[in-house]
Protein backbone atom coordinates (compact mmCIF):
# COMPACT_ATOMS: atom_id res chain seq x y z
CA UNK A 1 0.00 0.00 0.00
CA UNK A 2 1.35 3.42 -0.96
CA UNK A 3 2.08 5.74 1.96
CA UNK A 4 0.06 8.91 2.36
CA UNK A 5 1.86 11.66 0.45
CA UNK A 6 1.62 15.04 2.14
CA UNK A 7 1.65 18.45 0.53
CA UNK A 8 0.48 22.04 1.04
CA UNK A 9 -1.71 23.90 -1.47
CA UNK A 10 -0.14 27.26 -2.35
CA UNK A 11 -2.71 30.03 -3.09
CA UNK A 12 -1.83 31.76 -6.35
CA UNK A 13 -1.84 35.18 -4.71
CA UNK A 14 0.81 33.99 -2.24
CA UNK A 15 3.10 32.44 -4.84
CA UNK A 16 5.56 35.14 -5.88
CA UNK A 17 7.22 34.01 -9.11
CA UNK A 18 10.82 34.94 -9.81
CA UNK A 19 10.97 38.06 -11.99
CA UNK A 20 7.14 37.96 -12.30
CA UNK A 21 7.38 34.94 -14.61
CA UNK A 22 4.12 32.99 -14.95
CA UNK A 23 4.61 29.19 -14.84
CA UNK A 24 3.01 28.63 -18.25
CA UNK A 25 6.09 30.20 -19.86
CA UNK A 26 8.85 27.59 -20.36
CA UNK A 27 11.73 29.70 -19.07
CA UNK A 28 14.26 27.51 -17.32
CA UNK A 29 17.68 27.81 -15.78
CA UNK A 30 20.53 25.39 -16.34
CA UNK A 31 23.87 25.41 -14.56
CA UNK A 32 26.77 22.96 -14.51
CA UNK A 33 29.42 23.11 -11.79
CA UNK A 34 32.44 20.90 -11.16
CA UNK A 35 32.30 19.33 -7.69
CA UNK A 36 35.08 17.62 -5.77
CA UNK A 37 33.83 14.09 -5.11
CA UNK A 38 37.08 12.79 -3.58
CA UNK A 39 35.53 12.48 -0.08
CA UNK A 40 32.48 10.72 -1.54
CA UNK A 41 34.56 8.17 -3.43
CA UNK A 42 36.58 7.44 -0.29
CA UNK A 43 33.40 7.18 1.77
CA UNK A 44 31.66 4.63 -0.46
CA UNK A 45 34.80 2.50 -0.74
CA UNK A 46 35.32 2.51 3.02
CA UNK A 47 31.70 1.57 3.72
CA UNK A 48 31.14 -0.94 0.93
CA UNK A 49 28.58 1.25 -0.81
CA UNK A 50 27.96 2.17 -4.43
CA UNK A 51 28.63 5.63 -5.78
CA UNK A 52 25.41 6.08 -7.77
CA UNK A 53 22.82 5.58 -4.99
CA UNK A 54 24.99 7.49 -2.52
CA UNK A 55 25.21 10.49 -4.84
CA UNK A 56 21.45 10.26 -5.46
CA UNK A 57 20.96 10.43 -1.69
CA UNK A 58 23.28 13.45 -1.43
CA UNK A 59 21.34 15.51 -3.97
CA UNK A 60 18.02 14.29 -2.54
CA UNK A 61 18.97 15.47 0.92
CA UNK A 62 19.95 18.91 -0.36
CA UNK A 63 16.83 19.23 -2.51
CA UNK A 64 14.59 18.31 0.42
CA UNK A 65 16.28 21.01 2.51
CA UNK A 66 14.90 23.83 0.35
CA UNK A 67 11.25 24.65 -0.37
CA UNK A 68 11.86 26.03 -3.87
CA UNK A 69 12.72 22.54 -5.13
CA UNK A 70 9.50 20.88 -3.93
CA UNK A 71 6.78 22.60 -5.98
CA UNK A 72 4.35 20.71 -8.19
CA UNK A 73 0.66 20.32 -9.04
CA UNK A 74 -2.08 18.19 -7.51
CA UNK A 75 -4.67 16.22 -9.47
CA UNK A 76 -6.96 19.27 -9.58
CA UNK A 77 -4.30 21.57 -11.01
CA UNK A 78 -3.58 23.40 -7.76
CA UNK A 79 -0.07 24.64 -7.17
CA UNK A 80 1.37 22.71 -4.23
CA UNK A 81 4.56 22.27 -2.25
CA UNK A 82 5.37 18.71 -1.25
CA UNK A 83 6.54 17.94 2.28
CA UNK A 84 9.04 15.52 0.78
CA UNK A 85 10.27 14.77 -2.73
CA UNK A 86 11.95 11.55 -3.88
CA UNK A 87 14.37 10.80 -6.74
CA UNK A 88 13.09 9.30 -9.98
CA UNK A 89 16.24 7.87 -11.50
CA UNK A 90 17.40 5.92 -14.51
CA UNK A 91 18.99 2.53 -13.90
CA UNK A 92 21.21 1.50 -16.81
CA UNK A 93 21.48 -2.11 -18.01
CA UNK A 94 24.92 -2.45 -19.64
CA UNK A 95 24.11 -5.89 -21.04
CA UNK A 96 21.62 -4.46 -23.55
CA UNK A 97 22.03 -0.67 -23.32
CA UNK A 98 18.49 -0.05 -22.01
CA UNK A 99 17.15 1.67 -18.90
CA UNK A 100 14.64 1.26 -16.12
CA UNK A 101 13.10 4.44 -14.67
CA UNK A 102 11.98 4.13 -11.05
CA UNK A 103 11.58 5.92 -7.74
CA UNK A 104 13.17 4.92 -4.45
CA UNK A 105 11.54 6.88 -1.59
CA UNK A 106 13.94 9.36 -0.02
CA UNK A 107 14.79 9.14 3.67
CA UNK A 108 17.33 10.97 5.81
CA UNK A 109 19.17 7.76 6.71
CA UNK A 110 21.73 7.06 3.99
CA UNK A 111 22.23 3.38 4.84
CA UNK A 112 18.49 2.71 4.70
CA UNK A 113 18.12 4.54 1.39
CA UNK A 114 21.10 2.66 -0.06
CA UNK A 115 19.54 -0.66 0.96
CA UNK A 116 16.16 0.26 -0.55
CA UNK A 117 17.87 1.35 -3.77
CA UNK A 118 19.57 -2.03 -4.14
CA UNK A 119 16.31 -3.83 -3.36
CA UNK A 120 14.41 -1.77 -5.94
CA UNK A 121 17.10 -2.33 -8.54
CA UNK A 122 16.88 -6.08 -8.01
CA UNK A 123 13.07 -6.06 -8.02
CA UNK A 124 12.93 -4.40 -11.45
CA UNK A 125 16.08 -5.89 -12.98
CA UNK A 126 14.14 -7.47 -15.87
CA UNK A 127 12.04 -4.38 -16.65
CA UNK A 128 13.02 -2.08 -19.51
CA UNK A 129 10.54 0.74 -19.05
CA UNK A 130 9.23 3.34 -16.61
CA UNK A 131 7.91 1.62 -13.48
CA UNK A 132 4.15 2.11 -13.27
CA UNK A 133 2.39 4.15 -10.58
CA UNK A 134 5.37 6.25 -9.61
CA UNK A 135 4.56 8.80 -6.89
CA UNK A 136 3.87 12.33 -8.05
CA UNK A 137 6.25 13.85 -5.50
CA UNK A 138 9.46 13.20 -7.37
CA UNK A 139 12.30 15.02 -9.09
CA UNK A 140 14.39 13.67 -11.96
CA UNK A 141 17.96 12.44 -11.62
CA UNK A 142 20.35 10.59 -13.91
CA UNK A 143 24.03 10.33 -14.74
CA UNK A 144 26.29 10.06 -17.77
CA UNK A 145 29.26 8.12 -16.33
CA UNK A 146 30.92 7.77 -19.73
CA UNK A 147 31.88 11.42 -20.27
CA UNK A 148 33.04 14.43 -18.26
CA UNK A 149 30.91 17.04 -19.96
CA UNK A 150 30.99 20.83 -19.69
CA UNK A 151 27.27 21.47 -19.98
CA UNK A 152 24.10 19.38 -20.07
CA UNK A 153 20.61 20.53 -20.97
CA UNK A 154 17.18 18.87 -21.09
CA UNK A 155 13.82 20.07 -22.38
CA UNK A 156 11.17 18.70 -20.02
CA UNK A 157 10.15 22.30 -19.31
CA UNK A 158 8.81 23.09 -22.79
CA UNK A 159 5.12 22.85 -21.78
CA UNK A 160 5.77 25.22 -18.89
CA UNK A 161 4.33 23.19 -16.01
CA UNK A 162 7.24 20.97 -14.90
CA UNK A 163 8.52 22.61 -11.72
CA UNK A 164 10.72 19.92 -10.15
CA UNK A 165 14.51 19.94 -10.50
CA UNK A 166 16.32 17.80 -13.07
CA UNK A 167 19.73 16.78 -11.76
CA UNK A 168 22.45 15.10 -13.82
CA UNK A 169 26.13 14.33 -13.34
CA UNK A 170 28.88 12.95 -15.53
CA UNK A 171 32.14 11.05 -15.21
CA UNK A 172 34.56 12.03 -12.47
CA UNK A 173 38.22 12.39 -13.39
CA UNK A 174 41.45 13.11 -11.57
CA UNK A 175 42.44 16.76 -11.51
CA UNK A 176 45.62 17.16 -9.48
CA UNK A 177 44.96 15.45 -6.15
CA UNK A 178 41.16 15.66 -6.53
CA UNK A 179 38.43 13.70 -8.29
CA UNK A 180 36.25 16.25 -10.08
CA UNK A 181 32.79 15.60 -11.52
CA UNK A 182 30.36 17.82 -13.47
CA UNK A 183 27.01 18.28 -11.73
CA UNK A 184 24.04 19.91 -13.45
CA UNK A 185 20.71 21.26 -12.32
CA UNK A 186 17.93 22.30 -14.71
CA UNK A 187 14.91 23.98 -13.14
CA UNK A 188 11.98 26.22 -14.06
CA UNK A 189 12.83 29.88 -13.51
CA UNK A 190 9.38 30.39 -11.96
CA UNK A 191 10.48 28.60 -8.78
CA UNK A 192 14.22 29.30 -8.58
CA UNK A 193 16.86 31.71 -9.73
CA UNK A 194 20.65 31.95 -9.72
CA UNK A 195 20.87 32.27 -5.95
CA UNK A 196 18.99 29.01 -5.40
CA UNK A 197 21.03 27.09 -7.97
CA UNK A 198 24.28 28.40 -6.49
CA UNK A 199 23.18 27.41 -2.99
CA UNK A 200 22.31 23.92 -4.23
CA UNK A 201 25.84 23.33 -5.51
CA UNK A 202 27.42 24.81 -2.39
CA UNK A 203 25.28 22.59 -0.15
CA UNK A 204 26.08 19.47 -2.19
CA UNK A 205 29.79 20.18 -1.89
CA UNK A 206 29.50 20.84 1.84
CA UNK A 207 27.60 17.59 2.41
CA UNK A 208 30.14 15.61 0.40
CA UNK A 209 33.00 17.23 2.31
CA UNK A 210 31.47 16.08 5.59
CA UNK A 211 31.03 12.44 4.60
CA UNK A 212 33.39 10.90 7.12
CA UNK A 213 33.61 7.69 9.07
CA UNK A 214 30.67 5.34 8.83
CA UNK A 215 27.87 7.87 8.39
CA UNK A 216 27.27 11.38 7.03
CA UNK A 217 27.57 14.29 9.37
CA UNK A 218 24.30 15.90 10.51
Rounded distance between C-alpha atoms, residue 161 and residue 164, angstroms: 9
Closest by CA position to 84, among listed 134, 136, 119: 136
Exposed e or buried b per residue across 139-148, where buried means at least 16 C-beta atoms within 10 angstroms of its C-beta: bbbbbeeeeb
Q: What is the DSSP letter of 130?
A: B
CA-to-CA distance for 46 and 26, rounded, in angstroms? Answer: 43
Q: What is the Cα–Cα distance from 169 to 190, expressed in whole angstroms?
A: 23
CB of 187 closer than 8 Å to CB of 197? yes
CB 154 within 8 A of CB 127: no
Give the CA distances from residue 94 to residues 30, 121, 127, in Å, rounded to whole numbers and listed in that order.
28, 14, 13
- Catalytic annotation, residues: 189
Amino acid sequence: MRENIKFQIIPNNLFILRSQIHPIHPIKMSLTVDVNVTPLVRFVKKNGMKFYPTMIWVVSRVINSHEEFKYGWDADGNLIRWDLISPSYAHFHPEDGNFTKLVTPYGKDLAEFHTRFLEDREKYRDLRAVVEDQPANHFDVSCLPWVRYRHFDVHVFDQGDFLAPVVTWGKYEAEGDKLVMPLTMNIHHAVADGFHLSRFFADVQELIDHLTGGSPAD
